[in-house]
Amino acid sequence: MTQQKVDYYMMANQKYFPPERMLYVRERLLALPEERLALISTVELKDPTVMLLISLFLGTLGVDRFMLGDMGMGVLKLLTGGVCGILTIIDWFSVMNKTRDLNFNNLMMYI
């Protein structure tokens, strides 16, 4: 891909990826052939801020974990009320990082 397209993609999607992995994503995108751009733009990226809001309001029911694809923890939170709220509070502080890691892993599958 051209540097201009990579820069545009990075600026538009920088909130979706962990900051420490942005350089790696940039290098991988620069090495991609031009025809893979359409495939990269179809990767579903979840917004970390939206996931935080979902965790704040529906985290006790495990909705945040279900959306991240963590079915086991989602069922545990659903059946136990977020393990009496403890796991819910922990998720408030970690759901944004988990979402960014999930987005990074989804992008790496296509690159």
Q: What is the pLDDT of residue 20?
A: 96
Give the DSSP letter of residue 45: -
**Whole-structure pTM value:** 0.92
Each of the 111 residues of the chain gets a pLDDT tens digit; together they read 789 999 999 999 999 999 999 999 999 999 998 888 888 888 999 999 999 999 999 999 999 999 999 999 999 999 999 999 999 999 999 999 999 999 999 999 988
Give, to the nearest 10 degrees, the angle between helix 48-58 and helix 86-110: 150
Compute the distance between CA of residue 51 and CA of residue 41 in angstroms, rounded to an integer. 21
Q: What is the pLDDT of residue 41?
A: 85
Structure tokens at 93: 């502080």
